Amino acid sequence: MTSVSPSILSADFANMGEECKRLETFGADYIHCDVMDGSFVNQITFGQKMVAAVKRNTSLPLDVHLMIVEPQRHIESFCDAGSIVTLHYEAVKNSVKSCIKLIKEKGVKAGLSVKPGTDIREIEEYFCLLDLVLIMSVEPGKGGQSFMDNSLDKIRYCKNYKDVNSTDMLIEVDGGINDKTGRRCVDAGADILVAGSYVFNGKDMKEAIASLKKL
Ligand code: DX5
Ligand code: ZN
């Protein structure tokens, strides 16, 4: 079964505790926390205090996606709440290995993400150190955008690496995911689907999560 990590970027921020409980009740596998700093991306969302508050309101593992510059300055505090902490390769190009080490030393799963314009081969040398690779299927920065097809080749590339090297690195996809684009991602080899607007903005959250899990 496919794992689903709903993004609380599309949740009602004034009722975050309730939103987390709904996600848990309706079968989410993770809660995806989009941390944006107004610099790596334009929007500012929330920081460590919100992620800690989410953790207090759910028993689901938190999947923390850091869209921030100099994430190494904040890794440890996000690791206090996160089960997976994912950095952007574009933000840590010169210190990828030390950042991954910092995350792992905290006993947390380490993820590395690439923007749509970044060649997946640039990060292949780090695959052996990673628990998760996050393929962005939209330009990071906001929810509700359309899925970009070029992410499918990246997913296939990672899946092939996993098969050849017999590793269990998780492949996660984020951006423009619904039941149709999610199907294509799972067929290409994705393990975890992140979905924001599809889960929160539709008529039925339970049905939306179920439709992704069964892919
Ligand atoms: C975008 C975020 C995504 C976003 C996805 O920068 O990383 O997690 O919430 O939203 P949808 O599913 O609406 O594309
Ligand atoms: Zn995200």
Decide whether any atom of ligand 1 lies within 6 Å of the 113 Cβ. no
Confidence band of 60 (pLDDT split at 50, 70, 90):
very high
Decide whether any atom of ligand 1 lies within 6 Å of the 20 Cβ. no
Catalytic residue among 29, 34, 63, 131: 34
Active site residue 34: yes
Q: What is the mean pLDDT of residues 81-106?
A: 97
CA of 34 to the centre of ligand 1 (A): 8
Closest approach atom of ligand 1 to CA 147: 14
CA of 194 to the centre of ligand 2 (A): 7
Decide whether any atom of ligand 1 lies within 6 Å of the 211 Cβ. no
Q: What is the pTM of this model?
A: 0.98
Q: Give the whole-angstrom CA distance, residue 130 versus residue 158.
A: 12
pLDDT of residue 154: 98
pLDDT of residue 183: 98
pLDDT digit string (tens) for 47-56? 999 999 999 9
Active site residue 174: yes
Q: How many Å separate Cα 142 from the centre of its chain? A: 13
Q: Reduced to 3 states, what is the DSSP secondary structure of residue 95?
A: coil
